[in-house]
Amino acid sequence: MSEMLERLQREKIVAIFRGIEDRHADRAAEALLDGGIALMEVTMNTAGAAGMIGRWQDKYGERAGIGAGTVLDLDMAKEAVAAGARFLISPNLDETVVDFGLKHGVPVWPGVMTPTEIVRAWKAGAEAVKIFPMGTLGWKYLAEIRAPLDRIPMLATGGVDLDNLADYFRAGASAVGMGSKLVNLEWVRDGRFDLLEERARQFVEAAKAIG
């Protein structure tokens, strides 16, 4: 088990930064850090993503695990790793990205939906997978596929909120990924970083209470 997978299973929450403006990004990251969030992904379709990842690795690398999301192909994977990403998350399964991560010591958690895709990702070398889109599939789907595939750690992304967080963990999620529920861009633009910190704290406490 990689250090990052161990951390994922311990921390239980990955904050997804998608479309955040660079001028607000550091304050938003600091608000989540202060609220207890220790794993953050910057999606590669965010303007200036690579620069943000590199800067955060320098500024927050001792406190947080900084990774890249929406890594669709090998070129994006190379750019993210060169920027300093400690993990790569995709909405899709690309075995060349998984292989690249293995060769460079950077865990890749690819996006999968079906049991066949989950096992393909695992056999390709992914030590965890992202079940996506959870907002549509729901935690009951996760519970069903976990029954025969319980050896493979699963990150549930999409549709997770405070009122159903426990359902996802009871269904077998090792961790959850959350975007706008944690990184509310309206609050960011309004400078309400206190609200971001408080929301982060609520999720962290809820995840710890589940155990």
Tens digit of pLDDT for each residue in 116-149? Answer: 999 999 999 999 999 999 999 999 999 999 999 9
CA 104 and chain centroid, separation: 19
Instruction: For the sheet with 88-89, list strands across it.
Output: 108-109, 88-89, 65-69, 39-43, 13-17, 175-178, 154-157, 129-131, 111-112
Q: What is the mean pLDDT of residues 1-17?
A: 95
d(CA 200, CA 72): 28
Residue 209 lies in a domain: no
Asked whether residue 158 is assigned to any structural domain, the reply reads yes
Residue range 156-188, pLDDT digits in tens? 999 999 999 999 999 999 999 999 999 999 999
| Residue 196, CA atoms < 13 Å, CB-side half-sphere | 29
Q: Does the pLDDT at position 115 exceed 90?
A: yes
Residue 210 forms part of a structural domain: no
pLDDT confidence of 28, banded at 50, 70, 90?
A: very high
Tell me, yes or no, whether 46 lies in a domain. Answer: yes
d(CA 165, CA 188): 23
Residues 59-83 have a mean pLDDT of: 98
Q: Is 133 part of any domain? A: yes
Res 1 pLDDT > 90: no
Give the pLDDT score at 147.
95
Mean pLDDT of 73-84: 98
- Whether 32 has a pLDDT exceeding 80, the answer reads yes
Mean pLDDT of the chain: 97
Which residue is catalytic, options 11, 30, 41, 127? 41
Residue type, 124: A
- 115 preceded by a cis bond (ω within 30 of 0): no
The predicted pLDDT at position 182 comes to 95
Q: Nearest-CA neighbor of 160 among 143, 127, 138, 129?
A: 138
Residue 144 is a catalytic residue: no
CATH classification of the domain holding 184: 3.20.20.70
Q: Compute the average pLDDT of residues 24-44.
A: 98
Residue 78 annotated in active site: no
Residue 181: φ, ψ to 5°: -65, -25
Catalytic residue, candidates 130, 140, 181, 208: 130
Percentage with pLDDT > 70 across the chain:
100
Q: Tell me how far apart the alpha carbons of residues 126 and 107 are, in angstroms, rounded to a whole number.
A: 7
Q: How far apart are CA 77 and CA 94, in angstroms?
A: 10
Q: Determine, yes or no, domain membership for 211.
A: no
For position 16, what pLDDT does the model report? 98
Query: Distance between CA 149 and CA 169 in Å, rounded?
Result: 15
For residue 182, the enclosing domain spans 3-204
Q: What mean pLDDT is predicted for residues 85-91?
A: 98
pLDDT of 210 reads 87
| 115 falls within a domain | yes
* Torsion sign over Cα 106, 138, 186, 35: negative
Q: Do β-strands 39-43 and 13-17 pair in parallel, antiparallel, or remain unpaired?
A: parallel
Task: Tell me how many domains the chain contains.
Answer: 1
Query: Is the pLDDT reported for residue 211 higher than 80?
Result: no
